[in-house]
Structure 1
Amino acid sequence: MSDTPIRLLIVDDHPIVRDGIRGMFTGDPRFEVLGEAGDGAQAVDLARALDPDVVLMDLRMPRMDGVTAIRELARLGVRARVLVLTTYDTDSDVLPAIEAGATGYLLKDAAREELARGVEAAARGEAVLSPSVATRLMGQVRRPADPLSGRELEILRLVAQGTTNREAAARLFISEATVKTHLLHIYAKLGVNDRAAAVAVAYQRGLLTVE
């Protein structure tokens, strides 16, 4: 690396979090914080105006979420590397962010020096992954796709339409307990923990399509 500091843009919807992240880099000659954004739309505007080397991007934000912002930065040809810095490490968060073009993915409990090393690596264009995220991605690669059964797909479609377990059971002429069992199998196959994540991953993988 040259002696020129790495120019950073911090993106998070919580001012207190932005202050904390800024504090971790302030005074370190390796880095220069150019600015802060409170949502993805502002992040895109500032990244175009300030030309940072690395954008530290939260994911769940109002107005425009992090994944959408990452896609928009890529579409606009912004040269900045995006290093996701978030609390969430579920499949429905990690995979879309990486696919959208994020260079790395770290969690907010990362130690100060781990974050600094991650930013330096991201600036060089190297992949940066927290251990739990790396393990999750390796699991996706190693685990063969376990297809959903026809019944599981039926239930997932109903869940996507907003039906309750009781309503799904009535429509399919099965018990509510059977619906719950199918949902547990769906969660396990998709690597998720709840209904919303199951629907999101199903759309992402093409198991569900917008009609």
Structure 2
Amino acid sequence: MTVRVVIADDHPVFLDGLRLLLDTAPGIEVVGTAADGAQLLEVAGRTAVDVVVADLDMPGLDGAAAARALLANRSDVAVLVLTMHDDDTSVRRALAAGARGYVLKGAAPGSIVRAVHAVAEGDTVLNGDVGARVLRAAADARGGAGTTAPPPGLASLTVREAEVLELVAQGLGNHAIAGRLHLSVKTVQNRVSDLLAKTGAASRAELVARARDAGMGGRA
């Protein structure tokens, strides 16, 4: 399936570069561009679109406000915020508006392409340090306030991968995880395989150990 994308950014050079990146990526077609939030709503309103990639800082209607307005009528569209801001306030503002992904403009081109595909498939993607902070906050909320940075691989997880890993760390099997998250067993198996590859864990037991070292699963 080809993911149809609308891009919104008020910097023409960046907008052109992003369009070139996505238009040449497998499985992605850029079907529209916009220079501000109001234009984004107009373009998305008349275009068959799966994913909107939007900057936060745009003149007039900013990215978060545009995302909220768009999703009020188009809940089938996934919004991916692509921004320079990595502060917690900006992250919370974007996620509260309904964004499924938050990626920094300094991310590698491949990471941006993967993020577009991930949000189109229903995942939530938090890039780099943003994802690491979310995992640390989750650990703190479970009482693991002494936890430092996540082990290698854990900082780059999507939210769905983190959900699966949390349940793996609790000792649940694939069938139980599938029932808890309303996924197919095959999907869970694929997620676990991805987690093993991302973390470099040689076995499920090692994956559990690494997750628990990061403060996950131990207090379920």
TM-score (structure 1 length as normaliser): 0.63
Partner-residue secondary structure (3-state), 1:9: strand
Change (3 A) 1:29 1:93: same
The amino acid across from 1:111 in the alignment is: A
User: Take 1:100 and 1:139, find their aligned partners in 2: how far apart are those partners?
Assistant: 22
Structure 2 unaligned blocks of 5 or more: 142-220
User: Take 2:114 and 2:74, find their aligned partners in 1: how far apart are those partners?
Assistant: 25
Deviation at 1:129? 1.0
The amino acid across from 2:99 in the alignment is: A
Deviation at 1:142? 4.5
Is structure 2 residue 19 aligned with structure 1 residue 22?
Answer: yes
Cross-structure match for 2:112: 115
Structure 1 unaligned blocks of 5 or more: 145-211
From 55, 58, 61, the equivalent of 1:64 is 61
Change (3 A) 1:5 1:138: same
Partner-residue secondary structure (3-state), 2:7: strand
Q: What are the within-5 Å matches in structure 2 for residues 1-211 of structure 1?
A: 4-143=1-140
User: Take 1:47 and 1:58, find their aligned partners in 2: how far apart are those partners?
Assistant: 15
Larger radius of gyration: 1
Deviation at 1:78? 4.5
2:25–2:113 CA contact under 8 A, matched in 1: no
1:47–1:78 CA contact under 8 A, matched in 2: no
RMSD: 1.5
User: Take 1:46 and 1:101, find their aligned partners in 2: how far apart are those partners?
Assistant: 19
Q: Percent identity?
A: 41
Moved over 4 A (4+): none
Cross-structure match for 2:150: none
Deviation at 1:85? 0.5
Partner-residue secondary structure (3-state), 1:83: strand
User: Take 1:29 and 1:127, find their aligned partners in 2: how far apart are those partners?
Assistant: 20
Aligned residues: 141
